Amino acid sequence: MQKSLKSRDNELAVTNKQLEILNGGIFADGELPYFKDKINEIGQFPLRPKKLEILQINVGYMCNQVCEHCHVDAGPDRKEIMTRETMLLCLDIIRNTGAHTLDLTGGAPEMNPDFRWFVEEAAKAGIKDFIVRSNLTIIRANKKYYDLPDFFKKHNVHVISSMPHYTRGKTDKQRGDGVFDKSIKALQELNARGYGMPESGLRLDLVYNPSGAYLPGDQMALEADFKKALKEDFNIQFHNLFAITNLPIARFLDYLIASENYEDYMYSLVEAYNPAAVSGVMCTNTISISWDGWIYDCDFNQMLDLKVASKVKHIKDYNEDIINDRNIIISQHCYGCTAGAGSSCQGTVA
């Protein structure tokens, strides 16, 4: 199994090195425009938040998979896990936030030993949409996770699962050997509980992200292909497919550089820049909280350790009004969220 950048002592495990690459090279020498200059052309710089709608909490970087494209650099060797003490601070925020959606992510969020407790407590807070981003295979990884589909159902959790392709080869290439078969089994189990069925209130959405140095195609066309293939081949149903662009950070950046695709990929992102997508980027309606309680504009900025530009940077000092009155930190990775129809954790935005 592949290892995280961190455990390999890869130079990109240092976030400053990633930022140096994103700010240098073809951008520094003027071949491509800085993201800041592009959004300045449409009067969107500095980028400002709108109403906070989504609270995204990353409960830890530990994962049972080591996907080639992972922007978190997650894996079994990552020990950064949110403690119950930090979760208690998060619960205070959840009870008082103006956001309507709670989005739990990781790593594999289910691997946090306090995950079930946290879900139960957060569910009591009565948030409207309660999302868990599950990699699917965790449900089949160990007996102690076999009850997860029932647990999700009990708390009416909205499950969003990664599924890079409806063929075994492409899925396993990106996410590891055997991932496709385990994912199919997990999806069938979720379907058996009513998840993803047409009239069901139990929402099951899939996330597609390209298995290589190219951008995702049309979300609706991909969704139609996925629905047809998964239904015909495995009798699996789901609600929506979210097409997400891979952002050039962490392991995906490492892949782009190692495969000599970095410059072409950045050209593709800049060429596909869509000014109409800028006002809908997720950092304008989301904040991201890390395992240790720091606050970021998005999960990508979290992985680049770009904390919010606000006097409130940690949840122990949380104040939603102060946090919402900030400028969003941007760099060239942000082109990933404005390419084509745009990209966010909820799929396209334009």
Partner 1 sequence: MADSYYNSADLRKFGKITEWSEEIGNKFFDYYGKVFEEGALSAREKSLIALAVSHVVKCPYCIDAYTKDGLQKGITKEEMMEAVHAGAAIESGATLVHGVQMMNKYNKLSM
Measured from the CB atom, is 131 or 236 closer to partner 1? 236
Chain residues binding partner 1 by CB under 8 A are 165, 167, 170, 208, 210, 212, 214-218, 221-222, 225-226, 267, 271
CA 12 to chain centre: 19
Taking the complex as a whole, the smallest distance from the CB of residue 341 to partner 1 amounts, in Å, to: 12
Taking the complex as a whole, the smallest distance from the CB of residue 28 to partner 1 amounts, in Å, to: 18
Instruction: Give the position of tokens 């999302």.
Output: 131
Taking the complex as a whole, the smallest distance from the CB of residue 30 to partner 1 amounts, in Å, to: 15
Tokens read off for 100: 């309507």
Helix H, strand E, coil C: the string for 302-338 is HHCCCECECCCCEHHHCCHHHHHCCECCCCHHHHHHH
Measured from the CB atom, is 194 or 217 closer to partner 1? 217
Say if strands 286-289 and 295-296 run parallel, antiparallel, or are unpaired. antiparallel
The DSSP H or E segment spanning 289 is: strand 286-289
Taking the complex as a whole, the smallest distance from the CB of residue 273 to partner 1 amounts, in Å, to: 14
Contact assessment for residue 314 and residue 294, using Cβ atoms and an 8 Å cutoff: yes
Q: SS3 helix, strand, coil % of the chain, rounded to 5?
A: 40, 15, 45
Q: Of 199, 163, 195, nearest to 181 (Cα)?
A: 163
297 vs 284: CA distance, rounded Å: 8
Taking the complex as a whole, the smallest distance from the CB of residue 243 to partner 1 amounts, in Å, to: 10
Contact assessment for residue 249 and residue 18, using Cβ atoms and an 8 Å cutoff: yes
Taking the complex as a whole, the smallest distance from the CB of residue 268 to partner 1 amounts, in Å, to: 8
